[in-house]
Structure 1
Amino acid sequence: MSRLSFLLICLLSLAVGVSSSHKFSRDDFPPGFVFGSGSSAYQVEGAANEDGRTPSIWDTFAQAGKAHGATGDVACDEYHKYKEDVQLMADIGLEAYRFSISWSRLIPNGRGPINPKGLQYYNNLINELVSHGIQPHVTLQNYDFPQALEDEYGGWVSRKIVKDFTAYADVCFREFGDRVSYWSTVNEPNVFVLGGYDSGFVPPQRCSPPFGVSYCSRGNSSTEPYIAMHHILLAHASAARLYKRKYQEKQHGFVGIGIYGWWFVPLTDTKEDAIATQRAFEFFIGWILDPLVFGDYPKTMKEIVGSRLPAFTNHESKQVKGSVDFIGVIHYFNTYVKDNSNSLKMEYRDYNMDAAVELISMLDSSSFELPVAPWGLQGLLEYVKQVYGNPPIYIYENGQRMQRNLTLDDIPRVKYMHGYIGGVLDALRNGSNTKGYFTWAFLDVFELLDGYGSSYGLFYVDLDDPDLKRYPKLSAKWYSQFLKGKSVISDGIIELEKSPSALSHAHIQ
């Protein structure tokens, strides 16, 4: 069956009624399935200029006032408050915590000497998690590439990065791998390269006209996104190969990569939009997964992008193919796809990486919150199962966006979590090889797209409090009840509302 044929069947099945489970408990999930929450280094740690840490590309970007006037200089100050935060995780029954390591905190120059203070911090954090029975899941790079290497050779657009990233990964595997079993090399590289090298709305802000012309002073949007992704895949494969050769037999861990996954839906029932939807899957998901599973880029990409798409040598193809033990999926909402193939005839390449599609958000422009549509995540899991051989999957980010304020009764977030966790259960019952679910985020962190304007956290962080006090939201209480084995149903939201006193304490018992 072709990918397009499968996609049409999958869309049809979703259209006629895929709904998430309404009543379920933690016990309905398979043994070994893990529930957690997450953060990333720049978004949560703070202490940006302390104990030997040097700037990342996000420090440079934020300090220039380009992150909605906000910075992660202090953020949630987890660098100093990690013990308190791990205790909160334990209190609500969190089973796993996903975080990233700041490369420039651990190795300030990007290569060379290890920073003892940085090494001590991550050892302390990991030890604290393990001592509370919380499984660490570690990402090596989450957007915050060392500025020193960006300045020296352009970061991911240079092949030199493969060697430096592998050396960095080696330090992490060696120093932390006796307690960390789950490693992700790079978080959502598809969004990272599109934002950083195509449109330029996130660092390192490399792009060219007519794309992102007001943001960038350097770069080439027609070539650099493909080059950066190529080097990310080679660096991932190199690090994974190193782990398998040097550490896996003793440490028994796994190496994966995180991918941002929309569920794409044709805007109309025309054949053109259906074909465009398949192109979108290949350009946004196949761009990463095809090389990792099959050893090469999708045929459609090679035909459309041509010589601008780097080619794998036979040796590189063999190294990249099969270099993931699991896939990390990041999913928040779905989007419509409209055919725009006429743009392929234009002299310059179309937006969205030559996919020749228009993406139309399913978000309601009148609402700040994301729609509860777990059928999209179910469709995405089914797509990966059918097209890529049902690899192990960890849903590493999924969460509800709300305006950041003092309201702790985040009922929309409870409904979102209930819907999506139920959707994951349905996907599991349909044969998906999903191994874990992590809600984004544990705390209200510095958000990469709008600073402190929105929140996704289970815990509110009072930025006006010198101690940055944490307050549990309704969603933390709901998640805690679920994690501790209580059945949850939609009407359970009302029951939680009747007990607001439980939300007035920093610790949930």
Structure 2
Amino acid sequence: MMERETSFTLGFLILIILNLAATRVVSTVTDYQYTRSDFPVDFVFGSGTSAYQVEGAANEDGRTPSIWDTFAYAGYAHGENGDVACDQYHKYKEDVRLMVETGIDAYRFSISWSRLLPSTNGRGPVNPKGLQYYNNLINQLIINGIQAHVTLHNFDLPQALEDEYEGWVSRDIIGDFTYYADVCFREFGDRVLYWTTVNEPNVFALGGYDKGNAPPNRCSPPFCATNSTRGNSTFEPYLVLHHILLAHSSVVRLYKTNYMDQQGGFVGISVYTLAYTPQTNLEQDKVATQRARDFFIGWIVEPLIHGDYPISMKRNAGARIPTFTSIESKQVKGSYDFIGIIHYTNVNVTDNSGALNIKLRDYTQDMAANIIYREDMFSNDEYSVTPWGLQEELDIFKLLYGNPPIFILENGQRTASNSSLEDVSRVKYLHGYIGAVLHALRNGSNVKGYFAWSFMDVFELLDGYRSSYGLYYVDHNDPELKRYPKLSAKWYKRFLMGIELDNDPSITA
């Protein structure tokens, strides 16, 4: 178990950067040779999903809509939705059996706030059917020796709270999120030791409130990527993430005060990361790279480590970025037992300081850097396999942020959704990135676990069912939604059995 210490799968988010120019980075795969036994005995290997992406039963047993339901029904995921998804609500026993067969140590999933607390104000009382489902799922995991790693919020705020006071835009969310977390700790904390408060808040704030291409679809012209008529792209992303940090730290304080002694668990938050590298060796590109990191990763991590936002953010955003009071700063600083890293790919950065002079600015212009991206981040193409990017990110967390305990909460290969089970590229991807984690560990990184995204093909945020990350294929043409193991599931299973593997997919035959 992890020692207690004090101290942003989504191509769409790159749309937030100004003046992007497409290029394709050459794929490289280090020829790692390793086995499961090369990792510490307490290192956790798992996989994950999230509630709206996998549960289905969206209109059953008292569940009320979330902002993700509303977003999907507005047509922003190719007209598809999570009403049925993978139907894990009814098929959780089968799915846990597949987890056992795969040999994973842990399953990361999220709780649907509007299933557990479905009332019109998003607060009490607890829905007995929702409570029963999560108890059943957690118990099924525990009796099969699988750790439950729970996320409280994954893009699915109850629509009732969005309607009542505009959700995360309002400080009212802090008290309501703390109340919801309290219910979860009380009802499930005797069996759940690992809690993530909010999933990738940097992506949520930017997609949901700057470009409007994620729930709750808030933005303002001329910055909108959608036809949204609500929001303010200039201010809301900063405000939302500020409230997320305050709500997160409130929940951490609640856990430490009321539950830590009895339950002995760990509470963290996740951040979507990209491996940033300068496009050239010019000093201005190096400075721009750090500025880009500050505005995307440091935006969350710096307050957790130091109690305040990065200097470059405060200088460029000025009065638009909220200020922590001294009490809030102390509460946010150190409010984590671990930091969850979500990582898929890398970006190159070149300076565009002229953007700082634009009078009409929103968050994306404050970034003041062109990011040269790969076309595969905007299509169903496969991600390039560049595991050195993850290794570098882990090294940076070690050097810049005091080497906090880290779980890799999402990492995986994106492919076009199809019925082929021969996902060779996913095997190569997993092999390379798990090897990169091992190298980072040997270099002193404080990594505690790795979760492959995703356990099965799920409803993806923008792509719906048109892209795939799963170890297991779900046949949506089958009324029973039958699951089939892909080559990657077989590779992962053999790795977890302790067999030495390379990135040649023939080893799973």
Which residue identity does 1:348 align to in structure 2?
A: L
1:367 Cα deviation after fit: 7.6
8 A Cα contact 2:380 2:467, kept in partner: no
Amino acid at match of 1:370: Y
Q: Deviations over 1:89-141 (max 9, x none)?
A: 00110110000000000001311211000000000000000010001100000
Task: Please report how far the alpha carbon of residue 271 of structure 1 lies from its aligned counterpart in structure 2 after TM superposition.
Answer: 1.1
Decide which of 308, 312, 327 is 1:296's aligned counterpart. 308
Three-state SS of the structure 2 residue aligned to 1:354 is: helix
The separation in 1 between residues aligned to 2:465 and 2:225, in whole angstroms, is 26
Q: Which secondary structure does the structure 1 equivalent of 2:209 belong to?
A: helix
Q: 1:369 aligns with which of 371, 376, 382?
A: 382
Structure 2 residue corresponding to 1:450, chosen from 455, 459, 463: 463
Residues 54-133 of structure 1 correspond to what in structure 2 (within 5 A)? 54-109=64-119, 110-133=122-145
Corresponding position: 1:433 with 2:446: yes
**Are the aligned partners of 2:238 and 2:320 in contact in 1 as well (CA < 8 Å)?**
yes
Structure 1 residue 478 displacement after superposition:
0.3
Equivalent residue for 1:6? none
- Relative to structure 1, the CA distance from residue 106 to residue 369 in structure 2 (aligned partners, 3 Å threshold; closer, same or farther) is same
Partner of 1:407: 420
- Indicate whether 1:481 and 2:494 are aligned: yes
The range that moved more, 349-358 or 478-487, is 349-358
Which residue number corresponds to residue 18 of structure 2?
none
CA distance in 1, matches of 2:380, 2:256: 46
What does the per-residue CA deviation read over 1:131-161, in whole Å, with 9 as the maximum and x for residues that have no partner? 1000110000000110000000000000000
Aligned position for 1:162: 174
Q: Identify the residue that residue 318 of structure 1 maps to in structure 2.
A: 330
Q: Deviations over 1:439-494 (max 9, x none)?
A: 00000000112101100000000000000000000000000000011111133x22
Residue 343 of structure 1 contacts residue 350 of structure 1 at CA under 8 Å; is this kept in 2? no
Quick check: 1:276–1:338 contact (8 Å CA) kept in 2?
Answer: yes
- Listed as ranges, the matches of 1:372-391 within 5 Å are 372-391=385-404
User: In 2, are the aligned partners of 1:94 and 1:134 still within 8 Å (CA)?
Assistant: yes
Tell me the C-alpha RMSD between the 2 structures. Answer: 1.4
> In the aligned structure 2, how far is the partner of 1:355 from the partner of 1:223?
14
- Which of 174, 177, 184 lines up with 1:172 in the alignment? 184
Equivalent position of 2:21 in the other structure: none
Between the aligned partners of 1:397 and 1:451, the Cα distance in structure 2 is: 18
Provide, for residues 57-107 of structure 1, a one-character-per-residue CA deviation record: whole Å limited to 9, x for no partner. 010111122221100000000000000000000011011000000000000
> What SS class does the counterpart of residue 491 from structure 2 fall into?
helix
Q: TM-score, normalised by structure 1?
A: 0.92
User: Does the 8 A contact of 2:235 with 2:362 survive in 1?
Assistant: no
CA drift at 1:350: 5.3
Partner of 1:26: 36
The whole-number CA distance in structure 1 between the counterparts of 2:135 and 2:363 is: 43
Bigger relative contact order, structure 1 or 2, given CA contacts below 8 A and separation 6+? 2
Task: Pick from 453, 459, 468 the counterpart of residue 481 of structure 2.
Answer: 468
Q: Which amino acid aligns with 1:359?
A: I
Q: Where do 5+ consecutive residues of structure 1 fail to align? A: 1-14, 500-509
Instruction: Within 5 Å, give how 1:174-323 maps onto structure 2.
Output: 174-212=186-224, 214-323=226-335
Identity fraction in percent = 65
Report the residue type matching 2:137 in the other structure.
L
- Secondary structure (helix, strand or coil) at the match of 1:262 reads strand
Cα distance in 2 for residues equivalent to 1:35 and 1:230: 32
Q: Is the 8 A contact 1:138 1:180 kept in 2?
A: yes
Distance verdict in 2 for CA 1:204–1:24, change over 3 Å: same
Distance, in Å, in 1 between the alignment partners of 2:175 and 2:201 is 18
Structure 1 Cα separation of the partners of residues 204 and 285 of structure 2: 26
Deviation of 1:221 after TM superposition, in Å, equals 0.5
- The Cα of 1:355 is off from its aligned counterpart by 1.4
Q: Secondary structure at the match of 2:490?
A: helix
Counterpart residue type for residue 461 of structure 2? L
**Distance (Å, rounded) in 1 between the aligned partners of 2:55 and 2:365:** 33
**What is the match of residue 341 of structure 1?**
353
Relative to 1, partners in 2 of residues 1:351 and 1:309: Cα closer, same or farther, differing over 3 Å?
A: closer
* Alpha carbons of structure 1 residues 485 and 195: separation in structure 2 relative to 1, 3 Å: same
Q: Give the match's secondary structure for 2:384.
A: coil
When the two structures are aligned, how many residues end up with a matched partner?
Answer: 480
Q: CA deviation at 1:276?
A: 0.5
Structure 1 contact 57–145 (Cα < 8 Å) conserved: yes
Secondary structure of residue in 2 paired with 1:207: coil
Conservation of the 8 A alpha-carbon contact between 1:21 and 1:423: no
* C-alpha distance in 2 between matches for 1:431 and 1:200: 39
The CA deviation string for residues 233-266 of structure 1, in whole angstroms up to 9 with x for no partner, is 0000000000000001111100000100000111
| In 2: Cα distance, 1:366 partner to 1:119 partner | 38
Give CA deviations for 1:293-327 in whole Å, capped at 9, x if unaligned: 10011111111101100000000000000100000
**Segments of 4+ moved more than 2 angstroms:** 18-21, 350-353, 362-367
The separation in 2 between residues aligned to 1:417 and 1:213, in whole angstroms, is 32
CA offsets per residue over residues 178-211 of structure 1, 9 Å max, x none? 0000000000000000000001111111111110
Query: In structure 1, how many angstroms separate the alpha carbons of the residues matched to 2:246 and 2:400?
Result: 22
CA–CA distance in structure 1, aligned partners of residues 74 and 271 of structure 2: 28
| Structure 1 counterpart of 2:63, from 53, 60, 63 | 53
- AA of the residue aligned to 1:381: L
